[in-house]
Structure 1
Amino acid sequence: MQRIGIISAWVLSMLLLITTVSGCSGDSGQVEQHPAAGEIGTPVALASSFAVYKDVPVDFSPTLEPYKVDPELDNVTNKEMFQLSPEAKQLLVENGFVVVPNQYNREFFMLYETNLYEPVPSFITTDSMLHNYHLFFSHLLRVIEKGKLAPELKELTAAMLTASQKQYAALKGSDWENAARRNIGFFAVAEKLLDPQMPVPYQVEQVVEEELRLIENASGIQNSPLMNMGQDLKGTDTLQEDYSQYIPRGHYTTDEMLQSYFKAMMWYGRMTFRIKSEDETKSAVLITSALGESDFEQKWDKIYQPTSFFVGKADDLSYPQYRELLDKTYGTGIRLKDLASGSDQWTAFMEAAAELEPPVINSIPIFDEELQPDREGAIKGFRFMGQRFTLDAAVFQRLVYRNVKENSQGERRMLPKGLDIPAAMGSGEAYSILEAEGETDYAGYPANMNKLQQYIAGLDKEIWTQNLYWGWLYTLEPLLQERGKGYPSFMQSQAWTRKDLNSFLASWTELKHDTILYAKQIYAEMGGGMAGVDDRGYVEPNPHLYARLAALVNMTREGLASRDLLDQTDRDSLDRLEQLALSLKTISEKELSDIPLTDEEFELIRSYGGQLEHFWLEALSDIGVDHRSAIDENPAALVADVATDPGGRVLQEATGHIFEIYAVVPVDGSLRIARGGVYSHYEFSWPLSDRLTDKKWHELLDSGQAPPLAGWTKTFIAQ
């Protein structure tokens, strides 16, 4: 049986150069050179063309005295407020906190508003603030896609189809005829995905119908009828596509326009005109030539640049690289007859294109190394609007087969684990869990992980803050720092370290969910309270996370505003979110420095649920949510597939209902229990043919068919 594979050669030193950038060209079409660009041959533009990340200073000195919780909670002033199971009480005593599952909290604001009305002290968590950012990230991307990007994509597609038809008429009868015809089909598929009523040009009617049928049926891994058209290809030379990727997921299921946009952008993001095929490269050159005409390049850039700001630069070769190479080989103002002349210039172009850098991440199903040893040649090529490089996908790439080999049982690591990401970012606890679960037993895994850790530890702030995706990961990094002397006692345990890992994975899952269309996915090788009650609460003291979150919100607001992609309502909401993060940073600093909070600060904690509800309503307003009664149809729970084993499985990451956390916290010299909300997180493999949507995941949750929580969470979760 043939096995499907993936590129493994990844030079870490090169990765540093690749990841220091986030765009390809500016609105003017001019390419800005990064100092390192010459070394990798890739023209790029810095993220600062959108916005600059501005650090928020943090100032505190942790000075809290250690404390222990009495076995009977006798030194806790409000123990009578809570009825915990014996198991939960035991963990509360041992660790100073406990997380308790809850099937009724569909959103964070519900729990915090319950605290206000009961009333009990609130424990404001980093989880709840990170979830707030996810809500607005998803909302802003959705609004921009519907209002700006989808209409622009429709116009660009129609223009490119017309240009391709003109090229075909001019090149008919030449060696370039098939390449030109392929492009008619390429843009006709996209146009049909965007608008099913559009007619298909007669020259490609049959092959377009075949592609659309595979897309509509989500037919899994199949030969692409269009891309292989007119070529004498055999066996491993054929281009395969995973048509299950076209199942709309993430926020793209909420609207018909977004579903169409998802499919068309997935088509543009995944289909590769491989350099190993001269005919496919001719198609890529014709697309590049057409894009240079009129205002086509500007239209392309209006889609590429905003999505680069959200997610990052394309991982594959694209218009800027091919445009530069064409101009260098043929000179500016190239004509079709120059291309079709069969001159030595074309040979020079093909030779130069073969020297361009391959993608870091492979998302093309390719054959096993015995059958297809030239992995780079199998995947290197041109994509019209290629999916984006992300650090976490690059980490996954390095830690699955064939970059790591079999374990002692002869098993291959076909799918990664979410914990690979925090482990690579320096979490010793994450690595220990992976080790205990046998994930590090594969040959080459420890060595590759060590290289990743060294590389990531050396990244500077400019790299971490190049776009919003990277900035989100940078915001999560403080969750991986262990808490020492001077921090509240409940934060100085292995249990809390694992709780923070859970928070990291869940927020990262939201990031993957929100960017599922753009971020490249790896393919492993196949083969108001009651009077008289003291309900003063507490903020989970993580000043660095709140500071980075405030800076990320600021970068989001200023970047989108600079391109006229933000209305006043959303700007006001982001202002409020930034100020809330800054307030929580200040409260955290005071808590850790043992400085009393003001009445206004305690009131902010007390009213936190109302603020969360406001943000929730604003973030869902574009899909018609205007009242909390819509919570059952719009819960926090979501799911995203993040990696593929073409043997038939995908790795699903999911968040579920909001669990309750009870923490024993010091307030004014005494101990009390405060209650807050934290993520629940799930990781499991699932059939490739049935990549889960949020709706299907909600059905699994509500029917009790959700997979079990990770075993390592038992150190802090009790029923």
Structure 2
Amino acid sequence: MHRILPALVLGAALLIAGCATVDDASPPAPTVEGAAAENDTDFAHSYTLKPLEVTPSAPQYALPLDPGTVTNWEEVVAALSLGEEEQALLKEHGFVVAAYPFGDQDEIVGPYRTLGEHDVPLFLSSDTLLHLYHAQFDDTLRRVEEREFFDDLRALDVALLNASEKAYRQSSGEAKEAARLNMGYYAVAATLLAPDAEQVGDGFDPEDVKRYHVDVPAPVRDEVEAELALIDRQAGLTPSPLFSYTEDYTQYRPRGHYTQSERLKNYFQAMMWHGRMPFLLNATRQVPEEEARIQTAAAARTAALLADDPDLMEHWDRVYEVTAFYVGYADDLGPEEYIAAMERLFGGAKQDLTPDEVDALRQELRTLDPPAIYSGTGYQNVGSPEEARKALNATMGFRFMGQRFVPDSYFFSELVYPYTGEFTGAGEPFTLVGGYRSVPTGLDVMALLGSEQARTLLDRGEDSAYAKYDPAYGRLEAELAALNESAWRQNLYWGWLYSLRPLLVEFGEGYPTFMQTSAWQEKELTTSLASWTELRHDTILYAKQSYTFGKGPATSPEKPEIPGYVEPVPEAYHRLGALNAMTADGLFDLDVLDPAAQRRLRDLGDVIDRFTDLSVKELEGVPLTADDHAFIRDAAETLDDLVINLEARTTLVADVHSDPYEKIVLEEGVGPVDLIVVACPEPDGAVTLCAGPVLSYYEFTHPLDDRLTDEAWREMLREAPPTRPWWTGEYAVVA
């Protein structure tokens, strides 16, 4: 489990309330001190960040900008076809974001080459490095999933299926029913991994069809076939044939990078099954007491089987630890917690528990932390925060490879119905659906990460105009403020968020003039939201998604030296460099880093260091050298090497929150790149227009039964793209 955030149980909206067997009192909240101490034993040691000393004293110029003071105004305006509206914003703020003028472009390196061919000085953006890190993160994860985790997971499922079938034949009574449930559970997972004939040629060969075939045991064949049919249809909110409680089968649509091969599609569905389906600890309205006992006995048997077989535990631990390094630890109880509980009670893990031992184990497990994020299990209406908190324990239970606690999903679960109360505004904000705050917004995340501008936009757009929003937001803000620095370094997910925080501050005196505007804060907000979207896209299988309750109750020729500029945010680059090094070192230590990925991460680290050094020079008014100018001018050639053989398109999408009551999901998307044009100051007092690509960002709701893949998103962008967030119009002229 290993979560890092204080007072987790304050949120964690839950399901299926009103069961007499569940204690009405919420468990005690974890403490900040305990969370920090636990975090110190995890991956934070892989992250090294030395202080960066910078004294901003960049040259300034007056706004609104006088084109007559800019050395290349007419040339750049003509080369980039900037219209009157774009020029007006450029004069007002010292920069403007516009549509990329050379056709839709969904990769971030090519535009630098094209701009250079038009003799436009280059502006190297933070967006570029963040996107290139995403490409490395996503590719390394995808490769280890295909190369190793698929077979690790299959070995686990087949072995546990066989052991469950044997136990079923040898057991009686409650133990036999527990073995039967496990038999069905692992048969579903093993069958999801197995290819059919139509999948041969894309990740599978003909022999794989025979090699991975699963003979489903007769006693569970009907239920397994019914589960597989629901998964295949992505059938929505439907009672599980095996578990009785309601499951959201739309979650089994492969998304993110998992559409890139048939092998990844199968892995996605099997891992989603293991991440979402709990063996519940307590009885609920949908799961009677007898069934809860059977589910607990079944979970205990799985945990004991792993404890008794070092080879099986090695397979499980390898998948869990590597994915924990990327995303974090599970939000739910798992094998480790069940093994430890049995060791405390019985002196060791036991495959066969007596009825009294099942009772004792359930009582022991109830003393542990419940999940913090409601993920839709056993979907149920609640009418108040109190009902939701009393229902918290009802989702407690065992997940074989539980989805991970991530802070942004936790924020979302706390900032929607029923925790935010009734709408008190007069307009129609984005978050208002069905009379309540049914969906959160990425602005919630950015505000809590430190963006005062995001909080201002929440207020201006009435997305905070709910009776209880401010108290809920304040609790989360206090929890984050109490975290020590190591909490932000516990894994790559948190480290990515930590790298965004320097972009979300207000840039004061000494920074370039264009950066001191509120418009620049909104540009950086867009960059951060787009990068966060890429993070959620890459981790869509593992990050636990929040839900809303129901309501109701080669050598180049010589080139002339032309000016160029690096977006001067050295602290962001400094943290990204530490994160990149943590990625390389951690994956190497975990023995899952191939030589090509190791080289790319090393080269990316060199580029990040160069961005950092150039940023410091610019902020301190130090003239760039000829070598510095050559680095900026030749950026396309340098960056090309970082994306060879990678899927590095910017057009991607991720659903990050679900509201089954309104039958919608919150989608976060990145589209083709935009163009930023910036009036960049030179140490000699000259002002030069420089341009480069930046990420675009979209946020919109979409039908629950049509969760978007990257391919579907790209089609939507071509045919009927959604509108951009309203506030981007203050600095951007885009369609």
> How far off is 1:199 after superposition?
1.8
Work out the CA distance in 2 between the residues paired with 1:69 and 1:425.
30
Cα shift readout 1:103-132 (whole Å, capped 9, x = no counterpart): 522211111011222221100000010000
Inter-partner Cα distance in structure 2 for 1:476 and 1:209: 45
Q: How does 1:637-652 map to 2 (within 5 A)?
A: 637-647=651-661, 648-652=663-667
Aligned partner of 2:182: which letter? N
CA distance in 2 between counterparts of 1:645 and 1:12 reads: 28
8 Å CA contact 1:115–1:121 kept in 2: the answer is: yes
For 1:694 and 1:61, the matched residues in 2 are separated by 42
Q: How far off is 1:154 after superposition? A: 0.8
User: Is the CA contact 2:537–2:652 (under 8 Å) kept in the aligned structure 1?
Assistant: yes
Candidates 54, 59, 68, aligned match of 1:74 = 68
Cα distance, 1:618 vs structure 2: 4.1
Verify the 8 A CA contact 2:492 2:579 in the aligned structure 1. Answer: yes
2:30 maps to which of 14, 31, 39: 14
CA deviation after TM superposition for structure 1 residue 66, in Å: 2.3
Residue 593 of structure 2 is matched in structure 1 by: 566
Is 1:454 the counterpart of 2:478? The answer is yes
- Per the TM alignment, residue 397 of structure 1 is displaced from its structure 2 partner at its CA by 1.2
The amino acid that maps onto 1:639 is: V
Give the equivalent residue in structure 1 for 2:366. Answer: 354
C-alpha separation in 2, matches of 1:392 and 1:544: 22
Unaligned segments of structure 1, at least 5 residues: 21-33, 37-43, 229-238, 621-633
Q: In 2, distance between residues paired with 1:660 and 1:15?
A: 46
Q: Which residue does 2:190 correspond to in 1?
A: 191
Counterpart amino acid of 1:184?
M
Flag structure 2 segments of 5+ consecutive residues without an equivalent: 1-11, 18-24, 196-212, 283-291, 426-433
CA RMSD for the aligned pairs? 2.2
> Residues 698 and 18 of structure 1: is their aligned pair in 2 closer, same or farther, counting only changes over 3 Å?
farther
| CA apart distance, 1:452 | 1.5
Q: 2:138 corresponds to which residue?
A: 138
Give 2:325's match in structure 1, choosing from 271, 293, 309: 309
Asked whether the 8 Å contact 2:651–2:669 carries over to 1, the reply is yes
Q: 1:715 — aligned with what? A: 730
Q: 2:27·2:369 contact (CA, 8 Å) conserved in 1?
A: no
Give the 5 Å matches for 1:74-93. Answer: 74-83=68-77, 84-93=82-91
Counterpart in the other structure of 1:164: 164
Cα separation, partners in 2 of 1:518 and 1:35, compared to 1, 3 Å: closer
Partner SS, residue 680 of structure 1? coil
Q: Is 1:400 the equivalent of 2:427?
A: no
Alpha carbons 2:650, 2:695 under 8 Å: kept: no
- Counterpart CA distance in 2 for 1:56 and 1:125 is 23
Aligned counterparts of 2:359 and 2:153: Cα–Cα separation in 1: 33
1:150/1:100 Cα in 2 relative to 1: closer, same or farther (>3 Å)?
same
> Does structure 1 conserve the Cα–Cα contact (< 8 Å) formed by 2:13 and 2:374?
no
1:433-490, Cα deviation, whole Å (9 max, x unpaired): 1111111111211111112122212322210000000000000000111111111000
Tell me which of 49, 54, 62 is aligned to 1:60. Answer: 54
How far apart are the structure 2 equivalents of 1:270 and 1:561? 29
Per the TM alignment, residue 367 of structure 1 is displaced from its structure 2 partner at its CA by 1.2
Q: What aligned pairs does 1:143-542 form with structure 2 within 5 A after superposition?
A: 143-171=143-171, 173-196=172-195, 197-228=213-244, 239-276=245-282, 277-294=292-309, 295-332=311-348, 334=350, 336=352, 339-340=353-354, 342-343=355-356, 345-365=357-377, 366-369=379-382, 374-408=390-424, 411-527=435-551, 534-542=561-569
| Secondary structure, aligned partner of 1:640 | strand
Shift of 1:354: 2.0
The aligned counterpart of 1:46 is 42
State the one-letter code of the partner of 2:463: E
Find out whether 1:606 has 2:633 as its counterpart.
yes
SS at structure 2 position matched to 1:419? helix
Normalised to the residue count of structure 2, the TM-score between the two structures is 0.87
Aligned residues of 1:525 and 1:645 also touching (Cα < 8 A): yes
State how far apart, in whole Å, the 1-side matches of 2:150 and 2:33 are: 32
Q: Is the 8 A contact 1:404 1:443 kept in 2?
A: yes
Change (3 A) 1:335 1:388: closer
Residue identity in the other structure for 2:713: W
CA distance in 1, matches of 2:680, 2:557: 21
- Could you state the TM-score of these two structures normalised by the residue count of structure 1? 0.89
TM-fit CA distance, 1:56 = 3.9
- Aligned amino acid, residue 174 of structure 1: G
What is the DSSP-based 3-state SS (H/G/I as helix, E as strand, rest coil) of the residue aligned with 2:173? coil
Are the counterparts in 1 of residues 275 and 401 from structure 2 also a CA contact under 8 Å? yes
In structure 2, distance between residues paired with 1:368 and 1:517: 26
Q: In the alignment, is residue 580 of structure 1 matched against residue 593 of structure 2?
A: no
Aligned residue for 1:679? 695
Distance 2:398 2:704 in 1: 26
Candidates 713, 723, 728, aligned match of 1:697: 713
Contact kept in structure 1, 2:193 and 2:266, CA below 8 Å: yes
Q: How many residues align?
A: 665
CA contact (8 A) 1:250 1:694 kept: yes
Amino acid at match of 1:684: F
- Mapped contact 2:276–2:403 kept (Cα < 8 A): yes
2:293 and 2:358 in contact (8 A); partners too = no
Amino acid at match of 1:327: E
Which amino acid in structure 1 is aligned with residue 483 of structure 2?
L
8 A Cα contact 1:554 1:578, kept in partner: yes
**8 Å contact 2:296–2:358 — kept in the other structure?**
no
Q: 1:298 to 1:134 in 2, by over 3 A?
A: same
The answer to whether the 8 Å contact 1:650/1:686 transfers is yes
- The whole-number CA distance in structure 2 between the counterparts of 1:636 and 1:596 is 33
CA distance in 2, matches of 1:333, 1:433: 53
Residues in 1 aligned to 2:34 and 2:529: alpha-carbon distance in whole angstroms: 25
Q: Displacement of 1:15 after TM fit?
A: 6.9
Question: Would you say the 8 A contact 2:250–2:705 is kept in 1?
Answer: yes
Taking a change above 3 Å as real, the CA distance of residues 10 and 489 of structure 1, as seen in their structure-2 partners, is farther
Task: State the match for 2:4 in structure 1.
Answer: none
**1:657–1:680 CA contact under 8 A, matched in 2:** yes
Cα distance 1:522–1:716, how it changes in 2: closer, same or farther (>3 A)?
same
Alignment check: 8 A CA contact 2:303 2:349 kept: no
1:601 to 1:319, Cα distance in 2 relative to 1, 3 A:
same
**Residue 200 (structure 1) shift:** 0.9
2:668 is matched by which residue type in structure 1? E
Q: Distance in 1 between matches of 2:34 and 2:404?
A: 12
Please give the per-residue CA displacement for 1:9-61, whole angstroms capped at 9, x wherever unaligned: 999962746864xxxxxxxxxxxxx559xxxxxxx95125xx51010432221
Give distance in 2, aligned partners of 1:248 and 1:13.
35
Matched letter for residue 641 of structure 1? D
Matched position secondary structure for 1:575: helix
Contact 1:97 1:490 in 2 (8 A): yes
One-letter code of the match for 1:381? G
**TM-aligned CA deviation for residue 331 of structure 1:** 1.7
